[in-house]
Structure 1
Amino acid sequence: MHKAEAITAIVLAAHALARIAAHDAGNDAPSAQWRTLSILDQRGGMRLGALASAARTTQPGMTRLIGALESAGLVERGADPRDSRATVVTATAAGIRALHEWRTELGTTLAPRFDDLGDDDWRAIERTAAILGERAQSTPDDMTGARG
């Protein structure tokens, strides 16, 4: 398997596992909800357009999602401190709590699928998770010196 194929396989498997976990856990919240809350958890408050861009969705779609999340008490809108005409969306404590509960539920739901792995496989998974987490937080500029 080539490097690009391995990375693609990991991403596709991760998406499949997330769908399986949501189904098996009976969680009917849209994945866009968790993606949006994850972005807000990592980056803090954001303008709607920037949040839509980061979540790779349209601004009207994000507006609808934020309305639903706001009604559920998971996010709140406030004035942008740099420009009072603009609105910033932030996750509420309840939103962050729901996100962390979902992440715990993901792990608990998927754990039985991995019960038969040995120590070497677990070390490989832990190393892969660390590398992918690091790369997911990096910008393309961060990676220019890392190629080799």
Structure 2
Amino acid sequence: MTPSAETAIRAATDDEIASVEEQLRLLFVRVRAVWKEAAAAVHPDLQPVGYKIISALVHRGRMHAGALADTLEIDKSVVSRQVKHLEALGLAVTVADPNDGRARFVEATPAAIESIGQKGSRMQQQLYASLRTWSGDDVDELARLLARLTSEVVAPATTDSASGD
């Protein structure tokens, strides 16, 4: 049985896909700007990649540096440099892994937890306020489509693209 003209699914055109690509580019530019603003609000010397690292530690708890690199898809050497910088800023500490004396955990300091919580909640409030103006169906559809795109688009992390900028 062949689908009728009404039920046939039309393939996206190159122009439509280019429009999505442009909107994603604009979203990523804005996200980078938000990370830069959030980093500066936590500490004037904090870089956006450092903000991403400390934010991950605040939200996920202490982690090994390698796990941070894997989770954030950034190079281990970047994590190592940023952890040292976070320690110098008083935002992170390294502690011995009780199960392996040679390994170290990185964890957020109480000051980082408080600061990230305040900054994160402001950004989260903005997102929630914006999405509350949408219909529930639209928000569900956005989440579904983003999940689908995320699962289908595989971009391997490289040292060039994974610098965290």
Q: TM-score range by the shorter chain?
A: 0.5 to 0.7
SS in 1 for 2:96: strand
| Structure 1 vs Structure 2 CA RMSD | 4.1
Q: Which amino acid aligns with 1:54?
A: T
| Separation (CA, whole Å) in 2 of partners of 1:125 and 1:20 | 26
Query: What pairs up with 1:13-92 in 2 under 5 angstroms?
Result: 13-21=26-34, 27=40, 29-92=46-109
Task: Indicate conservation of the 8 Å contact 1:47/1:88, yes or no.
Answer: yes
Pair 1:10–1:50, CA change in 2 (3 A): farther
Q: Higher helix proportion, which one?
A: 1
Question: What is the Cα deviation at residue 30 of structure 1?
Answer: 2.0
State TM-score, norm by structure 2.
0.56
- Percent identity at matched positions? 24
8 A contact 2:93–2:108 mirrored in 1: yes
Q: 1:143 maps to what in 2? A: none
- Separation in structure 2 between the aligned mates of residue 26 and residue 67 of structure 1, nearest angstrom: 16
Superimposed CA distance per residue, residues 60-106 of structure 1 (whole angstroms, 9 cap, x where no aligned partner): 21111001101111111000011011111011111122212322454
- 1:84-123 matches, within 5 Å, as 84-106=101-123, 119=133, 121=134, 123=136
- Secondary structure at 2:101 match in 1: strand
1:25 to 1:42, Cα distance in 2 relative to 1, 3 A: closer
Structure 2: which 5+ residue stretches go unaligned? 1-11, 152-165
- Separation of aligned partners in 2, 1:56 and 1:10: 23
Contact 1:45–1:89 (CA under 8 A) maintained in structure 2:
yes
Alpha-carbon contact 1:73-1:92 (below 8 Å) kept: yes
TM-score scaled by structure 1? 0.61
Partner SS state of residue 93, structure 2: strand
Corresponding position of 2:157: none
Over alpha carbons, which structure has the higher Rg? 2
